[in-house]
Structure 1
Amino acid sequence: MLIVPIPAKPAPKLSALLAGQNCQINVYQKTTGLYLDLAINNVPIKSGIVCRDRVRLIRHPYLGFVGDLMFADTQGTSDPTYDGLGARYLLVYLEASDL
């Protein structure tokens, strides 16, 4: 398990090396919740994923992503919002061995 640093902004874009995968992660807030797009080497893997507390985001190994991502609320069980990113709501990378 690894915490991916993410700033508390309405639409942060970040890059991270996760299990040797060059990942581009876009997180954005809409009126209906927080969403995430994931690409590896600028090739989209999954887009428009609604982010919920402690719910794995990728879930399907056939998509080609090794491991999984999820948000975890450190103060309860609320779904994440941008203003708590990196503090209350942590983006967690789960290694394949953690699944």
Structure 2
Amino acid sequence: MLIIPLAAMPSQKVSVLLAGQNCQINVYQKTTGLYLDLAINNAPIKSGMLCLDRILLIRHPYLGFIGDLAFFDMQGTSDPTYEGLGSRYRFTYIEASDL
């Protein structure tokens, strides 16, 4: 697993290389929860994913993403909110071999 650093901000974009994939990740808070969009080489893979504690976000290999992404609450089992990003809530990349 690899921790992807995020800041405690309500909206942010991160570019990161994961398993040779040039990923663009957009994380944003809405009144209904924390959401995530994923693109590889600026081509959308999945958008508007509700981020929940310890739940894989991609889940479908046919989408073409190698591995998966998930949030982990380090102080319990609450779903992530932007205020705890980078501290309480860890955003992780899980390699395909670990799934």
Which TM-score band applies after superposition, normalised by the shorter structure? Answer: over 0.9
Deviations 1:14-43 (A, max 9, x none): 100000100000000000000000000000
Unmatched segments (≥5 aa) in structure 1: none
For 1:58-73, list aligned pairs within 5 A: 58-73=58-73
1:65 maps to a residue whose letter is F
Query: Which residue in the other structure is 1:17 paired with?
Result: 17
Q: CA deviation at 1:85?
A: 0.3
Q: CA deviation at 1:2?
A: 0.5
State the TM-score, normalizing by the size of structure 1: 0.99
Distance in 2, Cα, partners of 1:43 & 1:53: 26
1:37 maps to a residue whose letter is D
SS of the counterpart of 1:55?
coil
Alignment of 1:80 onto 2:89: no
For 1:32-43, list aligned pairs within 5 A: 32-43=32-43
Unmatched segments (≥5 aa) in structure 2: none
State the TM-score, normalizing by the size of structure 2: 0.99
Count of aligned pairs: 99
SS of the counterpart of 1:97?
helix
**TM superposition outliers: structure 1 runs of 4+ over 4 Å:** none
- What percent identity do the matched residue pairs reach? 76
